[in-house]
Amino acid sequence: MALLINDQYVEERLIAERREKGLDHRDEIWDGVYFMSPSPNDLHQDLAGRIYAILLEVIQIPGLGEARFGLNVTDRADDWTQNYRCPDVAVYLNENPAENRSSHWLGGPDLAVEIVSKHDRSYEKLDFYAKVNTREVIILDRDPWKLVLYRLGDGELKEVATSTVENGVIVTTESVPLNWELITGEERPAVKVRQVDEERDWVL
C-alpha cells in the first residue's frame, strides 16, 4: 500500500519521528520525493552483513578499495539530500573517480548489492545506478529466490546472468573477482561465493 501525505506538518512530524527512533537509515529521496523503506528483517540484515564481510576481506583489507555497508549514493554535487539511494552493500575501487564526502558518496560504486525486501524498490533503482556510472549491480531476490547480475553498457545497466537453485548458473562479477551462485540449503536457498583468484569459498 502506498501513502501520499499532502500535509506539510504531518510529513515533517512523521520524518522527525522516524529519525528519532532510528528508523530512517534506509529511507531515500528520489528527485525530492521522500521514500520510506521497509525495515529489513533478520535474514536481510544477516545476508547484507556477511556479503559486506566478504568484500571487506577481498577488497578493503588488501588495499584495493573501500567496502561500505548501508551508504548514501548521490548524483548531486550540491544539495545531495534531494536525490540519493542506499544500496545494502557497495564497493569503490581505488581507481573509481567518485568522491567520498563523509555523509555520502558523489558518484556510483564499482559494485552495488541490493537485497530485496517486500514492497521495496530495488529494481527501480537501476536507472539511477546507471546514471551515476555504477559498473555492476547484484540484486538478490528472495521471492522467488534468484541472484541477478546487471552490468553497465551504453549508459544502462543490462541483465547479464541470473542464478537460481534450479538452473545452477554461476554469476561472475568483473568489478570484484568473485563467483556468485544460489545452491540448495537446509531451510532456504544459500548463496555460495567463491574468490576466483584464490579459490576461497563462503556459503551464506
Question: What is the pLDDT of the chain when averaged over all its residues?
Answer: 88
Does domain 39-203 fall into CATH 3.40.710.10?
no
User: Grid cell 569503490 — which residue?
Assistant: 92
User: Grid cell 537460481 — which residue?
Assistant: 164
The pLDDT assigned to 21 comes to 52
Peptide bond into 144 cis (omega under 30): yes
The lowest-confidence range among 26-40, 90-104, 131-145, 185-199 is 26-40
Separation of alpha carbons 147 and 154, rounded Å: 23
pTM for the model: 0.85
Strand partners, 152: 157
Q: Give the residue with greater pLDDT, 5 vs 129.
A: 129
184: three-class secondary structure by DSSP:
coil
Quote the DSSP letter at residue 170: P
- Is there a contact between 118 and 93 (Cβ–Cβ < 8 Å)? no
The pLDDT assigned to 23 comes to 47
In the predicted structure, residue 6 carries a pLDDT above the cut 50? no
